[in-house]
Amino acid sequence: MKRTYFITGTDTNVGKTSATLALMTYFKQQNLSVVGMKPVASGCEKIDGEWRNSDALAIQKMGSQFVDYSLLNPYAYELPISPHLTGKENPVDLEKIFANFQTLQNLADVVVVEGAGGWYAPLNDNETIADLARKLNVPIILVVAIKLGCINHALLTVEAIQHSGLNCAGWIAVCNAANFFCVDLTIESLVARLKIPLLGVFPYSEQADFEDLAKRIKFD
C-alpha cells in the first residue's frame, strides 16, 4: 500500500527538514522505496542558472531514486521570506503542486512532503499551508521544537490541523536548542496534552545523523 505523509511544524526553523530526512531514512530501513517533496521553498541560491534550495536538494539526494528537481520543488524563491511575499511574480498554484505530487506517488512506496513555515503560513494571496495539506489530503506529522513556548504552539497547531478536517498521525520532538534545560519535563507535558502519538524524540546534535534518528522513530 502506498503511504504518504505531510510534514508541518509549530513554526519555521523547528526541524521539519531533519524530520523529513529522518523519516525518509526510516522507510528505506524498512525496505520501502521513498521519495520526498518540498513544494515551496524560500531562500534559494542560483545553481547552473536555476534557483535551488539546500533543504530541497538534501531531500532530492535522500530519495531512493533520482527525481528531477523541478518535480519535487516547483516553487523555489530567492528571498528567505514568506512565499506570498517573495513569489509575487510566480505565485504558488496548488493544482501544479498536486499534479507533481501525483507523479511522485507513482514512483515510490512512500512520499514524504515537507511544508513551509507553520500551518497557516501564507503561500499566495489567498491560500496557506493548511490549504495545500487539504489539497493533498494525506496524514499530517507535526514537528515540535522543544523550547520555551512550544506547548502552546503545539496545542494550537494540532487544534488547527483537526479543524482542517485532516488526520494528525503523530508528532516528533526535535531538541534543537543547545541550552534548553527543561527538555524531559516539556516532552512529558506535551505527551500528557497532545492526544496523538509521539513518533520520536530527536536529541540535540550539532550534526544530524539520519541513520541514528531514523532508529528513534516508532510507528504503531
Q: Tell me if 133 sits within 8 A of 26, measured CB to CB.
A: no
Torsion of CA 111, 10, 212, 197, to 10 degrees: -80
What is the rounded CA–CA span in Å between residue 190 and residue 198?
Answer: 9
Pick the closest to residue 11 from 180, 147, 112 (CA basis). Answer: 147
Which residue pairs from 83-90 have beta carbons closer than 8 angstroms and sit at least 24 positions apart in sequence? 83/40, 83/42, 83/116, 83/121, 83/122, 83/123, 83/124, 84/122, 84/123, 84/124, 84/125, 86/42, 87/40, 87/123, 87/124
Total Cβ atoms within 10 A of residue 216: 15
Residue-wise over 55-86: b if at least 16 C-beta within 10 A, else e? bbbbbbebbbeebebebbbbbbbeeeebbbeb
Q: Identify the active-site residue in 38, 96, 195, 218.
A: 38
38 is catalytic: yes
Contacts of residue 54, Cβ cutoff 8 Å, sequence gap at least 6: 45
- Active-site residue list: 38
